[in-house]
Structure 1
Amino acid sequence: MSASKVDPSTAHLALPFFDDAHRELARGLLPWAAAQDVDERDDRAACRDWVKRLGNGGWLRYCVPAAFGGALEKLDSRALVLLRETLAFHSPLADFAFAMQGLGSGAITLAGNASQQAEYLSAVARGDKIAAFALSEPEAGSDVGAMAMQAVDTGTAWRLDGAKTWISNGGIADFYCVFAKTDPNGGTRGITAFIVDADAKGLDTSERIEVMAPHPLATLRFGACDVPHGAQLGELNGGFKLAMRTLDIFRASVAAAALGMARRALSEAIAHAKSRRMFGQTLADFQLTQAKLGDMAALVDSAALLTYRAAWMRDEGERTGKPFGDYTAAAAMAKMCATENAQRVIDMAVQMHGGSGVQVGMKVESLYRDIRALRIYEGATEVQQLIIGKSVLRG
């Protein structure tokens, strides 16, 4: 018995974190996601396919506000969480494609002027333009202030020089939200954001990065890449705060992606335990198996509650116009626990499958590779620990 077409439980939709709009979203998404069949052997072609399908299905409308073709008045963290959890359950690459449309255009939603929003956001919602977020550099990952890429005002344009790396959708994106130093001595207070179209002269996106779970990643190289003054995104030297605000919206959704993968691993483990026979009984009849499944279920549910709480806190803060508790710490807890718990759940699912668990083509084998990066990107577990620890010390 395979869990390949089994939907995750909808029991969590009854929790008070969600309202009727979220429940309607989830119930519509579940059958749609289960019905998709995408050839993912070529990750770049598959991502393009997923973006088009997600756009045609109306799901990318949750990545932008209603004023530009979005489904809701403003970006809603709980909607993003439900979407990413369900997509990741069925296909981590589908989740990736969806998430990058939101993250890659999020800075334009938050800080773009009217013409920038009109040009890019509606196209993102339709799936007509693929978005990317270019922040990390070879020597500036978690330490954003160490950014070396420069943007110099030549009088007629902004000239960008430097490199960005580990850029998701690198090489297939239609535009990049790029962060560069406009004050070389300003640290995090000297960074400005720019929108750079993929066909900009002086931008080379050809250097691919191959990773253990195929995703379209690339190093971007900017050599005297001139963009018009109108490409500046948000305030001069306000790029660091803009990047952090963008990441804050999506951090809880990273936890949701891990949660979706963990739910899928648990479903695969249950299906395998019920069908695998040994010593005259099924694997599920052994108490040790039941204990492992109990551990896995508890890890999944604890991660779910932290994830839903963080998304709800962010949305409540948006609704009331003032911070609702320490959302940053709550999002860090969700991201840390969901990704670490998912790694443990998937590892136990692989172990429960025995030899077949490491066979290429088995779902638990691909999940084992897929989950590993989530403990690193958008703030590694160690960074989340620091955020939480500082919050605790502040009281």
Structure 2
Amino acid sequence: RATPTPTPTGWTLNGQKTWISNGGMADFYVVFAKTEPDAGARGISAFIVNADAPGLDSSAHIQVMAPHPLATLTFTDCRVDSDALVGPVNGGFKLAMQTLDIFRASVAAAALGMARRAFAEAVAHAKTRKMFGQTLADFQLTQAKLGEMSALIDAAAMLTYRAAWQRDCSSTSGSGTPAYTAAAASAKLTATENAQRVIDMALQMFGGRGVQVGQTIEHLYRDIRSLRIYEGASEVQLLILGKNALKT
């Protein structure tokens, strides 16, 4: 938690923010902090803080199972000018939610790409792996698994494309985003969960080679897991979709 204190020329930030993507690598950070601590979500403001700002320490890196630049940011009397404020005072929560909608669709797209790569690896492996005088692809069980993987990928693709299309429509028309929020949640939930299933099935098809460090499938298996968590875990997306359903 970071706490901003107003000064004659701007704000002073103290506290910490953790699990920050590109921590230690970014040129600047958008920091959300409570300008009115007792106002809940309506008391949050957003600030732009340069990476080299005095009082900002981004050296505490967080190691995770799949390589990703993460860090804890520590603010110690970190001063920013008044023009560092993004939007109005106490308007940060709305900005954060709009940003999440965009990134949920982009996470869905990333998961879709991972699933497609795993599927391509599985198909190529099935066509070349020799077993009992035939290829792995000749077995009906393999064909059924590939068929399931293909259907899961297509379902994820359609929802991801719909979310992107609705985002474009919302941006050009200037209308509200409730429908897009639900579409982004549906895309993020389905694409990440389906990709996890597809990659797991692909790994199983590779057998022991699938868990060998350095193999493409092993790499994908580690990478996909975090996508079901960040930008709102799958459980959060279910809540968004459930609440949206009750509004209709």
Name the counterpart of 1:261: 114
1:113-262 superposed matches below 5 A? 148-262=1-115
1:1-395 superposed matches below 5 A? 148-323=1-176, 326-395=179-248
CA contact (8 A) 1:171 1:205 kept: yes
> Following TM superposition, by how much is the alpha carbon of 1:158 offset from its aligned partner in structure 2, in angstroms?
0.4
Residue type of the alignment partner of 2:5: V
Within 1, Cα distance between the matches of 2:118 and 2:106? 18
CA contact (8 A) 1:252 1:310 kept: yes
Within 2, Cα distance between the matches of 1:351 and 1:149? 45
CA deviation profile, 1:237-292 (whole Å, cap 9, x unmatched): 10110111122122211100000000000000000000100100000000000000
Relative distance call for 1:191 and 1:323 in structure 2 (3 A) is closer
> Following TM superposition, by how much is the alpha carbon of 1:379 offset from its aligned partner in structure 2, in angstroms?
0.5
Secondary structure, counterpart of 2:47 in structure 1: strand
Within 2, Cα distance between the matches of 1:328 and 1:226? 35
Residue type of the alignment partner of 1:194: F
How many aligned residue pairs are there? Answer: 248
CA deviation profile, 1:95-124 (whole Å, cap 9, x unmatched): xxxxxxxxxxxxxxxxxxxxxxxxxxxxxx
Secondary structure, counterpart of 2:38 in structure 1: coil
Q: Pick the structure with greater CA Rg.
A: 2
CA contact (8 A) 1:313 1:325 kept: no
Within 2, Cα distance between the matches of 1:176 and 1:149? 13
Secondary structure, counterpart of 1:326 in structure 2: helix
Name the counterpart of 1:27: none
CA deviation profile, 1:361-393 (whole Å, cap 9, x unmatched): 100000000000000000000000000000111
CA deviation profile, 1:134-153 (whole Å, cap 9, x unmatched): xxxxxxxxxxxxxx321110
Which protein has the bigger strand share? 2
Within 2, Cα distance between the matches of 1:321 and 1:184? 31
CA contact (8 A) 2:116 2:153 kept: yes
CA contact (8 A) 1:316 1:324 kept: no
Residue type of the alignment partner of 1:250: F
Residue type of the alignment partner of 2:40: G
> Following TM superposition, by how much is the alpha carbon of 1:157 offset from its aligned partner in structure 2, in angstroms?
2.8
Higher-RCO chain (CA-CA 8 Å, sequence separation at least 6)? 2
Secondary structure, counterpart of 1:235 in structure 2: coil
Within 2, Cα distance between the matches of 1:322 and 1:182? 29
Within 1, Cα distance between the matches of 2:178 and 2:138? 45
Residue type of the alignment partner of 1:328: T
Within 2, Cα distance between the matches of 1:243 and 1:366? 31
Within 1, Cα distance between the matches of 2:222 and 2:178? 35
Within 2, Cα distance between the matches of 1:380 and 1:213? 17
> Following TM superposition, by how much is the alpha carbon of 1:325 offset from its aligned partner in structure 2, in angstroms?
6.8
CA contact (8 A) 2:20 2:71 kept: yes
Structure 1 moving runs of 4+ over 4 Å: none
Q: Unpaired segments of 5 or more residues in structure 1?
A: 1-147
Residue type of the alignment partner of 1:159: T
> Following TM superposition, by how much is the alpha carbon of 1:233 offset from its aligned partner in structure 2, in angstroms?
1.2
Within 1, Cα distance between the matches of 2:83 and 2:179? 35
Residue type of the alignment partner of 2:229: I
Q: Unpaired segments of 5 or more residues in structure 2?
A: none
Within 2, Cα distance between the matches of 1:239 and 1:360? 42
Within 1, Cα distance between the matches of 2:84 and 2:167? 29
CA RMSD for the aligned pairs? 1.0
CA contact (8 A) 2:29 2:50 kept: yes
Within 2, Cα distance between the matches of 1:270 and 1:280? 18
Within 2, Cα distance between the matches of 1:152 and 1:382? 35
